[in-house]
Chains A and B, each alone.
Chain A
Amino acid sequence: MNAPRRLWFLFAFLFMAGCVPGTPGLPKSDAVPEYVYTGSIFDGIQYGAVLSPAEQDTLYLLADTVNAVVVKRTEVYFWEITQEYKADWEKLNQPLDGTLEIYQGNHLFQKLERQSQVLVRQYDSQLFKEIVFGPDALQRFQAYQNDIQRYRKDYENHVKAQQQYSEELWDRYQNPDKYRNVPLRKEPDLPPPLHEFVSEVALTYPLSLPVGSFTMRVVDSNGRAVPGSEKKLKTIQPRRKGISYVVYTEHRWTNQKTSREPEEVIYVGAADSLFLQPFVQHEYYADDYLNLTEPQKKHAPLDDWMWVDIHPLSGEKLQTRDAKNHPGERDLIPFQVQQLPGPKLGYLIVPVDPNRPESTPSFSAYKIDLARETVSAIGIIDQHSLRGGADRQIRRIANVNPLVLILPVGITLSLGLIAVSLRKVRANEPLPERKKNGHRCS
């Protein structure tokens, strides 16, 4: 092999080697004691638990929301099955005392001390949507404990009252004459349920930052940074906010389509009615948002944006416009999907009857009766004005014969054949005539 050729091979090898950004670290199978960031972070929908080991250099948070983080020393191991780092809290669970310092570049941006903190959720929901810090957290937790005590007492009383009621019923059955003129009293009511759940009190740093990139570390009581407690921090915010609609027809309610962009048009085929289920949505840079919600999940870098449904819309009215731009309004209605009685397969979508408590809604949606009305545009009315990002067009599509749609292809090809034929005809014309017509260059 001559020298220049060898040089080319060396260059190609170096290029390929340069393209490969290092050997990926082998997963650890043995537990290693290290500092991890843990706590509860808000993803726009709810507070969820987070574990950010040393292997993960950046923690992602939503900007201008309050999050709770704490640094703990624990044993971290790699769980092959889910390809995640896990903490062996039972073996080692030692919170790191000190002050959390947050830097933006070299500038000390915030200094935080740990505070008492609780998470709160409605009793009938699984989503923690509220976080409380400081003395309020302790008060809230105490109030919740008092509520539990009260509920226990009330429930004990209810059990006793229910027992007396049952005994009275049995007595009535045994001695009907004794109660002949005594009306049956009302069955004792259940005590009112607890309306919220408050988590155990934890000591965490309340972290709320504007959009940007930061670094954080814990310093001990002597003002020295604790080695291994450094972590990068990136805060993100939605690029756009809007309304999404989950759209389905009565014919195929299991086949749902989602409309996210205001530029989108909802096309409807041969359907009689259309249901539109609205959600408040936020748009995030996909890579950042997935790093926030699934920090340990490996995903290819997504150079794209994604919409996230935050919560269903409730209360607002839908504004409709027909082809002549006449406005109309309608409310969000709870519907129930019912199986058809008998052996025939199928279902009905009917409005929930408020007089029948057993009639629970399957979903709440705006209904458009396409058989009786023409709707060409929709929007959401929010406090007497139209809400941004909620407008959509609706178009009904009739089937066009495929042959008609293919026809332009034939026309274009025919034009080509005519052009080529004309060229040949003109090429065969005698030269003097072409000169006379001025078609030839001088």
Chain B
Amino acid sequence: MMRARLASDLRTIRTLAVRSFAETIQSLGIYVALSIIVLSVSLTLLVYQDILATDYVLVLSNPFSLALVVAAVMFSIYLGALSCISIAKEKETGTLFILCAGPVNQVNFILGHLVAQLLTFLFMTGVLLVDFFLMAQLTQFYFSVRVLLGLLYAVFAVSAISLLGAFLAVLTGRVRAGVLAFIVVLLVGIALQILDSFLYNPDLRNVDANLFFIGRAVHAMNAVLQWLSPFAHLLNGFQALAIQNWSLVWLNGLASILFACLFLFLTIRVMETRGVRPE
């Protein structure tokens, strides 16, 4: 009985995932996101070529590291927004209600979406790896296995951010509000990070006492955010990978997994509490 139910659930998840994935790769959005990432790879290598033309010598541990960070952040933003839009749209248009009237339940629906997001991530990673490999062959810049490791490592943070998008979608129940909430969460994180880098300077104590206190407050908030934000886990994980600090790599990966589980739980709870009818 249990086995039959599990098999049925898996079939449902697979059907939902394939449906969602097919829809994604037939839309222009994914190719625009990929183009931006590919452009960042090309521009980075062009800049390095220019530096070599003037300085004759350049020392780099990983010429693709900047592109890797851009790619991971773009993947996360794109997949988070995609998750938010598609789930909110399903709820807004009533498709979710129709699906749940059949053999689909809330858990299957969210897991189906998550699997679709992971498939999309793997598709984008595949395209990007081909680009990295071609660029490395063309320019002779060294393509390190660490780039591949970094891309695979990003899957934890991408899952967490994707589920954050799903959570905001079910919480708001509307596409516009969901996307807006997702953007606000992203911008607050980025703004705090930028403000922290400018304002957390002990020398400010001698310039402006008020600014110094604001700097300390922003730093404290950012320190909290470093533990809460999947983006921070992603970037800290990359740094740990660069210096081969494996315990820190696993710690950040584990934090992302915990956040993914938390957002998954919250999303399902909100769906159960609020129901799946269009609001």
Q: Which residues of A contact B (CB under 8 A)?
A: 16, 18-21, 24, 83, 247-249, 251-252, 255, 257-259, 261, 263-271, 274, 298-300, 305, 393, 395-400, 402, 404-406, 408-409, 412-413, 415-417, 419-420, 422-423, 441
Contact = CB atoms under 8 A, between A and B. Distances in A.
A263 B56 contact: no
Interface residues of B, number: 55
Contacts of B25: 419
B139 interface: yes
Contacts of B216: 19-21
B59 A441 contact: no
Interface in B107-152: 127, 131, 134-135, 138-142, 144, 146
Interface in B15-53: 15, 19, 25-28, 30-32, 34-35, 38-39, 41-42, 45-46, 48-49, 52-53
B220 A19 contact: yes
A247 B58 CA distance: 9
A100 B30 CA distance: 68
For chain A, what secondary structure do more than half of its interface residues adopt (helix, strand, loop), or is it mixed?
mixed
B59 A300 contact: no
Interface of B: 15, 19, 25-28, 30-32, 34-35, 38-39, 41-42, 45-46, 48-49, 52-53, 55-63, 127, 131, 134-135, 138-142, 144, 146, 200-203, 205-206, 212-213, 216-217, 219-221, 243
A423 B25 CA distance: 10
* Interface core residue of A305, A423, A441 (most chain B CB under 10 Å): A423
For chain B, what secondary structure do more than half of its interface residues adopt (helix, strand, loop), or is it mixed?
helix
A412 B46 CA distance: 19
6 nearest A-B residue pairs (beta carbon): A416-B31, A19-B220, A269-B52, A298-B202, A19-B217, A423-B26
5 contacts: A252-B56, A269-B57, A300-B200, A393-B142, A409-B39
A248 B243 CA distance: 25
A265 B31 contact: no
B203 A298 contact: yes
Contacts of B49: 397, 399-400
B59 to A, nearest CB: 4
B78 to A, nearest CB: 13
Contacts of B59: 247, 257-259, 264-267
Contacts of A298: 202-203, 205
A263 B242 CA distance: 9
Contact of A412 (B34, B203, B217): B34
Contacts of A247: 57, 59
A399 B48 CA distance: 10
